[in-house]
Homo-oligomer: A and B are copies of this chain.
Amino acid sequence: MTLILKGNIISAEKYGELNIVENGYLVSNNGIIEGVFKTLPQEYQNNKIVDYGDKLIMQSFSDMHLHAPQYPMLGMGMDLPLLDWLNTYTFPVEANFKNTDFARKIYHELALKLIKNGTTRVAMFSSLHKEATLILMDELERAGICGYVGKVNMDRNGGIDLQEKTQESIDETIDWLKKSNFKHIKPIITPRFTPSCTNELMEALGKIIKEYNLPIQSHLSENTSEVSWVKELHPDCPEYFDTYVKYGMWNNKTLMAHCVHSSPRELKSMKDNGVYVVHCAASNQNLMSGYAQIKKMVDDGINVVLGSDIAGGDYLSMFDNVAATIRASKARNILDNWETGFLTVSQAYYLGTSAANKFFDEKPGFAKGNKLHCLILDDSKLVSARKLTIKERFERSIYNRQDDAIISVYSEGRKVL
């Protein structure tokens, strides 16, 4: 089935460069992109066109790190230090997800909100609860979202209500994998972070990753006290990342959230092994973790993608998170005495969209062969002093959160809004 979308088409094929085709045609076939055309090629002349007029047709977003069970605590406890925040809010809220009715209600709401905000691909942490994790996968699948969900593993340092026994964690993980039969939502192995998992559990998870050929997501070098804690826990490992390397969790299907305090050696290893940094600008600001050297990481050839990291981050919308990424890069620049530069809106948008395509085995932008993921934005309610260029309208839309301005969303070719 051929689908032709007409409008002002914006994509990020190269880092820092927008491809803009005014009044162009975005053509896909059975959900696979054929191309973006200024003039509709002869072969498609007889197909029906969905005409979005003067609206913006943009790549939709990939949110590559967020905690689904923390959605009900969005924007709370932000005055607390990290450990108090975890104990007062995060862990008790996550513990609620043993209740499957509650999980169904919250995850249904979250899935719809993601689509409404133009996020069509995710890499998501669930809680340690197997049933709730399957419910989350089911709700995302139904809403039309694609990507990965991980049942969290934690057999130490989680508190009474939020911790598994080692063998239980292994068994539940295997059972969860067997029951994960969804078309667009796939499992990803998710040790919460090194302090949450015993060596025994990590070893077992490493074997599962190998056996099932699964991707991995976790946290890395988020704040300085966490880095010190990992050093104490693992005198056998020279650095934090070595605790993941050791168990076969360090390759080009590995997502590591934060990396604010990664050493040069850690960063070099990420580059050499194709590991992804998931930059979580809002969360790193809210929890005062620090400002990662994102611009330098990208320039050095490290894979960098973006994550909302709700609820350390307080923005579910990736429009806001792209803006937060720009602001964080400007803070980093100020911290560096205005010497290291900042991310432009085009660069940050690339990180929030195209950069994640690689993780999904695709090319950047609306490349031929990619699955169709896009959103249609109606920015006509905003006032202006003159006729704006498409690029200006694009930039303005990144900064101005406009509820209900996203009028349609396509995910893997399916119209999901």
Contact = CB atoms under 8 A, between A and B. Distances in A.
Interface of A: 71-79, 92-93, 96, 102, 105-106, 109, 285-286, 288, 290-291, 314, 323, 326-327, 330-331, 333-335, 338, 342, 344-345, 382-386, 388, 392, 395-401, 403-404
Contact of A400 (B79, B314, B383, B400): B314
Contact of A74 (B286, B330, B400): B400
B76 A333 contact: no
Given A392-B76, A401-B401, A327 B383 contact: no
Given A73-B385, A74-B399, 16 more contacts: A72-B383, A73-B384, A74-B400, A75-B398, A76-B388, A76-B395, A78-B326, A78-B399, A79-B344, A96-B385, A106-B385, A285-B330, A288-B334, A290-B334, A314-B400, A331-B334
A404 B402 CA distance: 12
Given A102-B385, A334-B290, A400-B314, A327 B285 contact: yes
Nearest to A382: B74
A331 B327 CA distance: 11
A286 B330 contact: yes
17 contacts: A72-B383, A72-B385, A73-B384, A73-B385, A74-B396, A74-B400, A75-B397, A76-B395, A76-B399, A78-B345, A79-B345, A106-B385, A288-B334, A290-B334, A291-B331, A291-B334, A331-B331
A288 B396 contact: no
A333 to B, nearest CB: 6
Contacts of A404: 403
Question: What 5 pairs across the A-B complex have the smallest Cβ distances?
Answer: A75-B399, A403-B403, A72-B385, A314-B399, A79-B344
A388 to B, nearest CB: 8
A330 B288 contact: yes
A23 to B, nearest CB: 22
Contact of A333 (B109, B288, B395): B288
Query: Which residue of A77, A93, A335, A399 has the most chain B CB atoms within 10 A of its CB atom?
Result: A399
A98 to B, nearest CB: 12
Contacts of A92: 385
Nearest to A290: B334
A327 B326 CA distance: 14
A141 B314 CA distance: 35
Nearest to A317: B401
A330 B333 CA distance: 15
